[in-house]
Structure 1
C-alpha cells in the first residue's frame, strides 16, 4: 500500500521531504501492474525493481555521472594510472601487446606507460628491458593511443615514457608521436604564453601529454633559449629509483638500475610540456627550486618512507608525483594504492592486468565522477596553507568523524566456487574500510552453513570513519572453510562519500554470474 511505501522511504531510506510525491513517482516508474498503479500501490515485484534501480542503489546516483569541479590544476586530482601498460602477464616472460593499452584506456585509465628501446630497422620497440617479455613496435602503441585515448573519457591522457633509445631512434619516436597523434599531442602551452601553473583537466580535454625528460625549462623554450640538444642526459627516474634499499635484489635487477647515459634529442624533448621528469632530492629542495610542471617518480618503498613526512601532502598540492611498483614484483603484483592516495600522490600506477584487492580499490575510487579517470582531491589536500597528516587526521581543521552502520540482511543465488557436483558454499560477508591508518578496519558476519541460494544474516557491523573523504568501503563475500583459506565469491567497492543511506542491493559481476546482495546502510555522526 502507499502508506507502507511512505513509511519505508521515511524510516529506512531516511527520505524526509515530499515523501508522498516521491512514493507516487516510484510507483509510476517501477510498478509493472497497471491495477496496482490505479490503486496507488506497489507490489513486491515493483518494490524489487525499485531497489534494483539506480535510485535504490547504495551508490548515490548523483555521484555516478560527472559531478566534480574539473577546472582545478592537474595536481589537484587523483589520476587513474597504469604501470607497464604493454604487459598482459608477468614482468619476466609475459606477453607484450597493444591490447594492454586498449583494455586500460577502456577502463578509464588516464596515464599509461611505455618502455622504449632501440629496435630493428630504425624502429623503436616496447618491452620490459633485460627480460624475456615479447616486443611490440612503438608506432603501434602510439596508433592505438590515438584511436582509444578518448573512448571512455575526454579528459587528458598522460603518456609516461621510460626512454632507453639512442638519439636517432628518439627522433623516430618524436616523428611518430607528431604524425600519428596530430593535434591530440600537446606540444606547447595552451595559450602560447609562459604559464604560471598547471592547466586543468577541463582545459586539456582531448589532449595527450608526454611525460619524460626535457632539455632546459619550459620558460627557456618559450623565450627561444634552447640548450644544446645533445647536452640533455636521459636519466630515467624509473630505473635509478629502483635502488630502494632492498638488499635482496638479484644481479639481473641490479643490472637494470644502472643510470642511463644516453643523450636526449631535441625533437623528443620538445614534445614534453607540463610533465617534465626530474629527480627528487628532498621536499625542502623541491619547495625552493622545483617548477610546477616538474614531476618526480617514486618506487613504492621510497614512497612509504616519504609518507612519514608531513611535507609530502604539501608537495603534492604543488606538483605531480608518480608512484610505481617495485622492480621486485616480477609477478606483476600490486601494492596498496590507498597508502599513496593518503599522501596526495596523484599518479599511482598499478599493474592493470593483475586482479586483486588493489585493483578493486582503484576501480572503486574511480567509479565515481563519470568514470572519467580524474577524482578531485579533498580541499585539505589541495590547500598549501593547511598541513594534513594522514597519521594524525584528528589534528586537521574541520575534523568530524562519522559512524557507519552496515546491516547485512540476506543474499540470493550466490555462485558456487567449486564446480564439483553437489557442492554448496558457506557464505559470509566481510566489510572492509580502506583509508588513513586510523580508519583501516574490517569486520565480518557469521557464515551460513550450506546455503548459497538464500542465506540470511541480519548481522550489524559498526565502524567509525575519521577521514570520510579518503575512505573506501569494500564488501566481500567468501565461502568459509575451517581447514583452509576462504574462497572468494564476489566483491563491490565504492567511495564512502558515495554511499546512499537506506536499504539497497549491490551487484558485482563475476565470471558467468551476477552477484546480488542486500544490506542496510545507516550514516550518523558518532555519539561523542
Structure 2
C-alpha cells in the first residue's frame, strides 16, 4: 500500500470514528440532585417515585398504579433494580413516553355550544399544492382528517357538460376531482383521529338541479352520520355531535337575485374579465392573479349565476346544519344586529378581519363570536398556499381559522401546536376571556399589558438524532453542532425568542440553559422549540421542532418529542425540558 493510500485510509478511519463516536447522554446535575433527594443509598422505591411525581412534577393526583406502570416499563428495559430504580433508570423514565409535556386525553368540557370552541380548519382542502395550478385530489383531505382537522372546505362547480359536480379552485388551472370521491374519502376517514364532529363547508357555484344532485350524493354517502337542523338560537355541542357530519353553506334563498343590481354588477365584472374558457367548469374566468384575488375576496359571496328563489333545491336546503351568511350591508350592520334568535356562520378574509380590527371593531367581533361562528380564510394573493398569523383570528374569537394544510412553515406549525391541545381531538375550548360579557371583555382588552404569568423553560439536553437521521445528514465529516431556539407565539405583547449556545460536535447536546417568558394572555400562548445544526453560511440545517400550548404544559421535567417540518413526530428525537410557572 502506498503512503498516499495509507493516509487516505487513516483519514477515513478517523472521520468514521469521529462521526460514530457517541457520548451516552448522562443525567444533568439538576437530575442527579433530585435523584439524591428522592432516593436512599442510590435506590428509588415506588413510593419515592410517587413522591417525586407529586412534589416536583406537580402531579397531585398521581396514583400508586401509575408509579407501578412506570416501574413495569423500566423492567422491560433491563435497567431496574429488584428493590427500585437506580439513577440511569430514573433518567430513562424522565426521557420516556410516560413523562410527556401535555396530556394525550380529551379533558376539556365538550358540552358547550360549538361557538365556544376553536375548530381545526382547512382551506381549499382538496389542493395538493399551490392555489393556481396544482392537482385536486382526495389525498390531502385524507391526510388532513388523519391529522385531526375537523373542518374540510370543498369548492363545488359544474363540470363542462353541467350534468355533474366537480371540486376545484374555480378560475385557475387546478385540476378537478369528483365530488363523490371527496365525500367518500371524508366518510372513511372522518373519525380516525377524533370522534368529534366534522364540518364540511361548501363554496357553492351550482345551479338548482346540481344542488339537488349534491343533496342526493351527501344523503347517500353519509346516511345516519349526517346532522341536519333548522335555524337555531344556539349551536349544539361537540359532545352531542360525536361521529356526526355537518354541512355548512349558504341557503339557496340567499343567492343572487335578478333584481340585485349591485351583486349583478360584480358578476358581470368577473365575466367581462374572462380571457379563456375553463373546460373544467364550463364557464369563462380570467386566470391572472388580480382576478384570483377578487375571487377570494368574494370567497363566500358565491359569484355564481342568478338563481330565483322558487327554483332553489329544497332538499339541498335541508342538508345545511350551519347556515352561512354574507357580508351584505357591511360588517358593522351585522355586528350591530347580532340576532339573538338565530346563529349563523360568517366568513371574511384575513385582510378584511385586520381592517375591521383596525377600525375598532375588535370587541364587537369577539361578542359576535360568543354565539355565532366566524371563519377566516387566507387572502387571495397567497397563491403559493402560504398561511397567515392565526392569532389575528383566535384573539378575536374566530372559531374557524382556515389554513392551507398542504405546505410547511412557521404559521402552520403554530396551527398544529394549538390543536395538540385537548388530546388532539380538533376542538379546543376558547378561553374564558373571550366569553365574558361585553363590559368585562372591553375592560380586559384595555388591560393587555399586565403580566398574568411567567413561564420558565430550562432546556437540559437532546438525544435521538443518531437514530432518526443518517450519520451524514448534517455534516459529512463531523458530528452536528446543535443549538435550539425557544420562543413564544401569541398576542403581540407575549412574542419573544431566545437562542441557546451552540454545542459543537455532539450528537447528544447538553445546553443547560433557562429562559423566562412573561405572559399577558397565557391562555392563548404557544411555546415553540426548534433545533438546528449550526452552519457558518447561516443556512442552518433543520433538526426538529415542536409547538405546544402553554395552558396545557405539565410542570416539572418533561421529555419533549420533536417533529419534522410537516409536523410528523420523530421516533426517537426529543429534548429534556423543565417547565415552571410563576
* TM-score clears 0.5: yes
Q: 1:260 aligns with which of 268, 288, 304?
A: 304
Match of 2:424 in 1: 371
Q: Is the 8 A contact 1:407 1:461 kept in 2?
A: yes
Match of 2:20 in 1: none
Q: Is the 8 A contact 2:126 2:139 kept in 1?
A: yes
Q: Distance between the aligned counterparts of 2:501 and 2:190, measured in 1?
A: 45
Structure 2, unpaired ranges of 5+: 1-35, 271-287
- The reply to whether residue 468 of structure 1 matches residue 515 of structure 2 is no
Per the TM alignment, residue 229 of structure 1 is displaced from its structure 2 partner at its CA by 11
Q: Is the 8 A contact 2:114 2:235 kept in 1?
A: yes
Q: 2:540 aligns with which of 486, 499, 506?
A: 486
Q: Distance between the aligned counterparts of 2:189 and 2:348, measured in 1?
A: 28
Cα distance 1:43–1:332, how it changes in 2: closer, same or farther (>3 A)? same
Cα distance 1:518–1:174, how it changes in 2: closer, same or farther (>3 A)? same
- The equivalences for 1:175-190 within 5 A come to 175-189=216-230
Q: Is the 8 A contact 1:273 1:293 kept in 2?
A: no
What SS class does the counterpart of residue 398 from structure 2 fall into?
coil
What SS class does the counterpart of residue 81 from structure 1 fall into?
coil
What SS class does the counterpart of residue 577 from structure 2 fall into?
strand
Q: 2:462 aligns with which of 411, 425, 437?
A: 411
Match of 2:377 in 1: 324
Cα distance 1:175–1:436, how it changes in 2: closer, same or farther (>3 A)? same
Match of 1:88 in 2: 128
Number of aligned pairs? 495
- The equivalences for 1:502-517 within 5 A come to 502-510=556-564, 514-517=572-575
Match of 1:222 in 2: none
Match of 1:220 in 2: none
Match of 2:388 in 1: 335
Q: Distance between the aligned counterparts of 1:431 and 1:390, measured in 2?
A: 31
Q: Distance between the aligned counterparts of 1:147 and 1:385, measured in 2?
A: 42
Q: 1:204 aligns with which of 241, 252, 256?
A: 241
Cα distance 1:379–1:120, how it changes in 2: closer, same or farther (>3 A)? same
Cα distance 1:292–1:428, how it changes in 2: closer, same or farther (>3 A)? farther
> Over the residues paired in the alignment, what is the CA RMSD in angstroms?
3.5
Match of 2:168 in 1: 127
Q: Is the 8 A contact 1:276 1:293 kept in 2?
A: no
What SS class does the counterpart of residue 369 from structure 2 fall into?
helix
> What do residues 154-201 of structure 1 show as CA deviations (whole Å, max 9, x unaligned)?
221111111112222222112211222222222335xxxx74311111
Q: Is the 8 A contact 1:283 1:312 kept in 2?
A: no
Q: Distance between the aligned counterparts of 2:76 and 2:579, measured in 1?
A: 27
Q: Distance between the aligned counterparts of 1:446 and 1:515, measured in 2?
A: 19
- The equivalences for 1:283-294 within 5 A come to 283-290=332-339, 292-294=342-344
Task: Provide TM-score, normalisation by structure 2.
Answer: 0.76
Q: Distance between the aligned counterparts of 1:197 and 1:316, measured in 2?
A: 12
> What do residues 122-155 of structure 1 show as CA deviations (whole Å, max 9, x unaligned)?
1111111111111111111112222222222222
Per the TM alignment, residue 8 of structure 1 is displaced from its structure 2 partner at its CA by 5.7
What SS class does the counterpart of residue 304 from structure 2 fall into?
coil
Structure 1, unpaired ranges of 5+: 218-226, 243-248
- The reply to whether residue 301 of structure 1 matches residue 342 of structure 2 is no
Q: Distance between the aligned counterparts of 1:195 and 1:81, measured in 2?
A: 22
Match of 1:271 in 2: 319
Per the TM alignment, residue 260 of structure 1 is displaced from its structure 2 partner at its CA by 3.1
- The equivalences for 1:16-55 within 5 A come to 26-27=70-71, 30-32=74-76, 37-39=81-83, 41-55=84-98
Q: 1:109 aligns with which of 149, 158, 166?
A: 149
> What do residues 204-225 of structure 1 show as CA deviations (whole Å, max 9, x unaligned)?
22222111111459xxxxxxxx
Cα distance 1:95–1:266, how it changes in 2: closer, same or farther (>3 A)? same
Cα distance 1:387–1:295, how it changes in 2: closer, same or farther (>3 A)? farther
- The reply to whether residue 438 of structure 1 matches residue 493 of structure 2 is yes
Q: Is the 8 A contact 2:127 2:134 kept in 1?
A: yes
Per the TM alignment, residue 33 of structure 1 is displaced from its structure 2 partner at its CA by 8.0
Q: Distance between the aligned counterparts of 1:331 and 1:412, measured in 2?
A: 35
Match of 2:502 in 1: 447
Q: Is the 8 A contact 1:318 1:384 kept in 2?
A: no
Q: Is the 8 A contact 1:211 1:277 kept in 2?
A: no
What SS class does the counterpart of residue 241 from structure 2 fall into?
coil
Match of 1:519 in 2: 577
Whichever structure has more helix as a proportion of its residues is 2
Cα distance 1:445–1:139, how it changes in 2: closer, same or farther (>3 A)? same
Q: Is the 8 A contact 2:79 2:89 kept in 1?
A: no
> What do residues 455-505 of structure 1 show as CA deviations (whole Å, max 9, x unaligned)?
111111111112111111111111223433333211111110111111222
Q: Distance between the aligned counterparts of 1:284 and 1:229, measured in 2?
A: 21
Match of 1:13 in 2: 57
Q: Is the 8 A contact 2:234 2:371 kept in 1?
A: no
Match of 2:29 in 1: none
Per the TM alignment, residue 22 of structure 1 is displaced from its structure 2 partner at its CA by 7.9
Q: Is the 8 A contact 2:249 2:322 kept in 1?
A: no
Match of 1:58 in 2: 101
Q: Is the 8 A contact 1:36 1:43 kept in 2?
A: yes
Q: Is the 8 A contact 1:314 1:387 kept in 2?
A: no
Per the TM alignment, residue 276 of structure 1 is displaced from its structure 2 partner at its CA by 2.5
Q: Is the 8 A contact 1:116 1:161 kept in 2?
A: yes
Per the TM alignment, residue 273 of structure 1 is displaced from its structure 2 partner at its CA by 2.9
Q: Is the 8 A contact 2:559 2:574 kept in 1?
A: yes
Q: Is the 8 A contact 2:338 2:368 kept in 1?
A: no
- The equivalences for 1:133-152 within 5 A come to 133-152=174-193
Q: Is the 8 A contact 1:165 1:262 kept in 2?
A: no
Q: Distance between the aligned counterparts of 2:209 and 2:508, measured in 1?
A: 65
